[in-house]
Chains A and B, each alone.
Chain A
Amino acid sequence: MRALDAGILVCGECHRLEYLCEGEVQHCSRCGSRLHMRRPNSIARTWALLITAAVLYIPANLLPIMTINFFGNGAPATIMGGVLELIHADMLPIAFVVFVASILVPTFKLVGIALLLYSVQRHQPMSARQRILMYRFIEWIGRWSMLDIFVIAILVALVNFGNIASIQAAPGAIAFCCVVVLTMLAAVMFDPRLIWDNTDAENEEDGRAELQSNKAQD
């Protein structure tokens, strides 16, 4: 049975249990944080962050993220360009890591969070276990997309020889940085308990609960 069905709230910060008092604003008796049945407006806020990230995803991939100036020849490099360059230099394992961290992961996160939101809203028959695994994976992997930003920071500091050779960061880096931060925030906003609130297995197990995710959300 869910804690909520027993009239118990879980503190979002310190996980202490408190009895629910209907119609009152409650605070945790241990850490003082405001108690909610589920994170407030979780679905709407996650959608908002996700859509903003999706819009910025376009310039992040199309604009150059850095300009490489080598003996007077300036060449802008996009994210994909950097990966291709590593492939041409026969550094396949590193090319693969950069490809996964900066192209595959952000794409997967955008699609994955959208799927989670859609399945929670539409009661899609995707198993809760699959969805929670996907959620944990998205939450865990989010920070690794910052890899490319850190590489730019290191290269900018290190390759700094005036006219001989220099690397400068370019506008695509700002968009990419925003995509990473926004998708991480979206994962934080999403309440994983919504995944379990509308599963059919739960209904069979627990005959008395009428589990409507929209009711549980507020």
Chain B
Amino acid sequence: MIQESGQPVDTRQALPPLKDLIACHECDLLMHHPHVGEEQKASCPRCGYELVVHRAQMHRRALALVLTALLLFIPANFLPIMSLNLLGQNAVDTVWSGVVGLYHSNMGIVAVVVFLCSMLIPLVKLLCQLLVLLSLPFPRWRPMGTQLYRAYHHLREWGMLEVYLFGILVSIVKLIDLADLHLGIGMACFIALMLAQVWLEVTMSPHQVWDALSEEEDNHART
């Protein structure tokens, strides 16, 4: 991928029109809008923040990934991730049973946080992304897509599938010497869900989505 950096605006010259400008979101540096080609990105020359990335075939790829992730969601959360065998007794763990287990230990708040971070927010994020992608070809739906994409950005860092996966690994290490441990099909689904979600996040580049959402005014998407 070719990396470019934005060109800071010269203070002594007159400002170009707003649509040819871009400001760094993290340090507020004003730059000329870098027009990047496919699979290129541009970053802020002062703080290094990634300004724009242009992904080829963003819409089709993102749609395929979001559907994959949604199909994996139910098996990943409700099929057994692992089972533990101790003196003839068997206990099975799913993401959902973890939430229920915490609730029954009188840990309502913690159960809610785990439920939000590992189940609800990842699902809502995926649904937001799906609806935004579906609304892009239809100008009438775009205002709804815009609001959903805003919501998605607020939820972004609260979905913690990769952290949960690491939690599963730590638990395996803790229990492996203690008793008979078997991995279940839910584990494979959970890993696949996490990979699809990370890939989706890389594919769906925000500025491309925002430009596509405001296309009706500009008539063409900026690259």
Contacts and interface: CB of A to CB of B under 8 A. Distances in A.
A1 B171 contact: no
A168 B107 CA distance: 9
Interface stretch (A41-49, A50-58, A111-119, A159-167): A159-167
Interface string B36-64: 00000000001110000000000000000
Interface string B73-113: 00000000111101101011110011111100111011101
Nearest to A15: B25
B210 A91 contact: no
Given A8-B21, A132-B47, A160-B91, A184 B28 contact: no
A164 B97 contact: no
A159 B84 contact: yes
A139 B214 CA distance: 29
B1 interface: no
Interface of A: 1-6, 8, 10, 13-19, 30-33, 86, 89, 91, 94, 97-98, 128-129, 132, 139, 142-144, 146-161, 164-165, 168-169, 173-174, 177-178, 181, 184, 188, 192-193, 195-197, 206, 208
Nearest to B47: A132
A159 B99 CA distance: 14
B146 A2 contact: no
B146 A8 contact: no
B175 A177 contact: no
B47 A158 contact: no
A17 B20 CA distance: 10
Interface stretch (B122-130, B133-141, B157-165, B191-199): B157-165
B118 A150 contact: yes
Contact of B110 (A5, A10, A149): A149
Nearest to B15: A6
26 contacts: A8-B21, A10-B25, A10-B28, A14-B146, A17-B23, A30-B213, A33-B150, A94-B170, A97-B170, A128-B27, A146-B163, A147-B163, A149-B113, A152-B110, A153-B99, A153-B102, A155-B175, A157-B91, A157-B93, A157-B101, A161-B86, A161-B91, A169-B105, A192-B26, A193-B27, A196-B28
B220 interface: no
A2 B102 contact: no
Contacts of A165: 86
B11 interface: yes
B101 A193 contact: no
A31 B109 CA distance: 33
B22 interface: yes
Given A31-B147, A164-B86, 12 more contacts: A3-B29, A14-B210, A129-B47, A144-B163, A147-B163, A148-B167, A157-B91, A157-B94, A158-B92, A158-B93, A193-B26, A193-B28
Given A132-B47, A159-B84, A177 B113 contact: yes
A192 to B, nearest CB: 5
Given A155-B174, A173-B110, A14 B150 contact: yes
A30 B91 CA distance: 52
Interface in B143-180: 146-147, 149-150, 153, 157-158, 160, 163-164, 166-168, 170-171, 173-175, 177
Q: Which of B101, B153, B160, B164 has the most CB of A within 10 A?
A: B101
